[in-house]
Amino acid sequence: MKKHIVIIGSGVAGLASAVRLGAAGYEVTVLEANNYVGGKLHGKKIGRYRFDLGPSVLTMPHLIEDLTAISQQNIKFDYIHLNKICNYLYEDGTFLCAYADKNKFATEVENKLGETKQSVLEQLKDSATAYELTSDLFMHQSLHKLSNFLNLKTLKALVNIRKLHLNKTMNEVNTKRFKNPKTVQLFNRFATYNGSNPFQAPALINIIAHLEHNMGAFAAKNGMHDITKHLYQLSLNLGVEFKLNTKVTKIKTDNDKVIGVSTSNGDLKADIVVSGSDIHHVYSKLLDPKYYPNKLLKQEKSLSGLIFYWGINKQFAELDLHNILFSKNGEEEFTTFFKHKTAYHDPTIYINITSKITPQDAPEGCENWFVMINVPHNESSKPVDYIDEMRKQIVAKINRLLKTDIEQYIEVEEILDPYLIEQRTSSFGGSLYGNSSNNKYAAFLRHANESSKIKNLYFCGGSVHPGGGIPLGLLSAKIVSEMIGSKNQ
């Protein structure tokens, strides 16, 4: 008889788990509190414009192709390799394009920021080396099983441990290599990919630059929401059942073993439960208090985001798919986030414009702007009070750097803030990546993918190992499905 697996949440990790476990022959039911699948990886039409509501950067698309292959279905996920990764704009008027070609990028940094071309290439080489030494250990398997470390991969990493700069922060390594603070700020900004502080996060986080500059940056031809649509269709074709508008209220156990779940629409039996929900929500809302891991859940949370979705009835030729307008003082910005726990008056602004790649996302002559700044997670869990002020700062900065009056071109607008993120996704305080990585032991401090106290309870998604973001979410599903497979052969 097939074992019945219940997956809580249909975020990217939940969907990937559904594909893998459905393909392995299990009876799989996905429970989703919202009336749509995808979690943060969702899309929406606002007036004449289409927007991706959440993640906007695509790396490691082969992980999506792996799921297509596993499902043995002839359904294609369309994406393109970007020639330009990102445009960087600074307050003094400096404009720098991060080309996908490494030599061209290094030359651009040399010409615009005065670094040596070699220093940029060395930075990318070092990030590649760190990835090669650690990815199999930290990204593709559980960190909570001793047996996973008793192999040649671990020995190789230990022999080369000095190359990993484990006792230094990202900023310390980047400051030592580059002479221009603008270059340091450029490479430091990769810490925000997991919601962390480059002045505290370990230098190992520099491997994120490797994903974009060495492995490649990509764009989904039909928007990032197409990832959700693709995985959802693969799951349906494998016989996975989805129950939308079904909020899980309790994970039921008996003798420290999973027996099912209680939901807003009744109880459901399960042999195995895989939770893709935020780990704080799982322990505080779905499990008996005796299981609550106080120390783990008190760890510092990652950054959240304040996002404005603007339909702009004009085109800006100087902008591309990805654009960063930097703050004047990066260190002060991150100190404000993590020490003072509030929004920063001169924010670094990210502008994503998918209509540059997918013209149908905006009317002719127009653009769809996803305008985001980082903000702290919302400790109060009450509506935030800084939206109007930060909007003024964002508009003023865009006007200064682009020499425009952006207000007159905003045709439609919607807003997403930490409070709404928490309401829609159960992410604690609107934290985008669970716990931050502001600790050299951060990789080991993330919650495990398997419960050590409750049999047949597993965890995937951005708040557990190996971390936040689409690639790591997909890898968490891989780790969980392999764990389940090894125990149910």
Domains of the chain, earliest start first: 4-79+222-299+434-487 (3.50.50.60), 118-217 (no CATH), 300-425 (no CATH)
Q: How many helices (H) and strands (E) does the chain have?
A: 16, 19
136-162 mean pLDDT: 52
Q: Which pLDDT score, from 0 to 100, does residue 164 have?
A: 62
pLDDT-based confidence at residue 146 (cuts at 50, 70, 90): very low
Give the start-end residues of each E strand in 161-232: 218-220
Q: Are 106 and 338 in contact (CB under 8 A)?
A: no
Distances (CA, A) of 59 to 85, 209, 474: 11, 11, 12
Q: Are 236 and 30 in contact (CB under 8 A)?
A: no
- Of 232, 246, 265, which Cα lies nearest the Cα of 73? 232
Q: What percent of the chain has pLDDT over 90?
A: 83
Distances (CA, A) of 166 to 161, 172, 242, 309, 445: 8, 11, 43, 39, 15
Calpha distance 264→271 (Å, rounded): 20
First to last CA, the chain: 13
- Residue 159 predicted with pLDDT over 50: no
Calpha distance 253→259 (Å, rounded): 5
Q: Are 274 and 459 in contact (CB under 8 A)?
A: yes
Distances (CA, A) of 322 to 99, 228, 263, 351, 365: 12, 21, 40, 6, 19
b/e per residue 342-362 (b: at least 16 CB within 10 A):
ebbebbbbbbbbbbbbbeebb
> Where are the alpha helices (H) located in 360-439, listed in sequence order?
387-402, 418-425
Residue where the block lists tokens 């230990």:
158
Distances (CA, A) of 139 to 84, 222, 299: 27, 28, 21
Residue 34: burial class (beta carbons within 10 Å; 0-12, 13-18, 19+): middle
Per the prediction, the chain carries an average pLDDT of: 92
- Of 364, 359, 353, 343, which Cα lies nearest the Cα of 310? 353
Q: Are 53 and 43 in contact (CB under 8 A)?
A: yes
Distances (CA, A) of 273 to 169, 236, 367: 37, 19, 43
Calpha distance 286→35 (Å, rounded): 20
Calpha distance 79→376 (Å, rounded): 32
Q: Are 42 and 54 in contact (CB under 8 A)?
A: yes
Calpha distance 230→251 (Å, rounded): 29
Q: Could you report the per-residue pLDDT of 365-378, keeping only the tens digit for each?
A: 999 999 999 999 99
Using DSSP's 3-state secondary structure scheme, residue 411 falls into strand
Q: Could you report the per-residue pLDDT of 232-270, keeping only the tens digit for each?
A: 999 999 999 999 999 999 999 999 999 999 999 999 999
pLDDT-based confidence at residue 149 (cuts at 50, 70, 90): very low
Q: Could you report the per-residue pLDDT of 262-309, keeping only the tens digit for each?
A: 999 999 999 999 999 999 999 999 999 999 888 777 888 999 999 999
Higher pLDDT, 72 or 145: 72
Taken in order 31, 36, 37, 42, is the CA torsion positive or negative? negative
- Residue 135 predicted with pLDDT over 80: no
Q: Are 334 and 300 in contact (CB under 8 A)?
A: no
Q: Could you report the per-residue pLDDT of 393-449, keeping only the tens digit for each?
A: 999 999 999 999 999 999 999 999 999 999 999 999 999 988 888 876 665 568 889
126's CB contacts (< 8 A; 6+ apart) are 163, 206
Q: Which pLDDT score, from 0 to 100, does residue 148 have?
A: 47
Calpha distance 173→462 (Å, rounded): 26
345-359 mean pLDDT: 98
204-213 mean pLDDT: 92
Calpha distance 16→334 (Å, rounded): 33
Q: Are 92 and 406 in contact (CB under 8 A)?
A: no
Q: Are 231 and 12 in contact (CB under 8 A)?
A: yes
Using DSSP's 3-state secondary structure scheme, residue 249 falls into strand
pLDDT-based confidence at residue 139 (cuts at 50, 70, 90): low
Q: Which pLDDT score, from 0 to 100, does residue 489 have?
A: 65
pTM for the whole structure: 0.94
- C-alpha Rg value of the chain to the nearest Å: 22
Using DSSP's 3-state secondary structure scheme, residue 144 falls into coil
Looking at residue 283, the DSSP 8-state letter turns out to be I
- Of 299, 310, 396, which Cα lies nearest the Cα of 347? 396
b/e per residue 199-211 (b: at least 16 CB within 10 A):
bbbbbbbbbbbbb
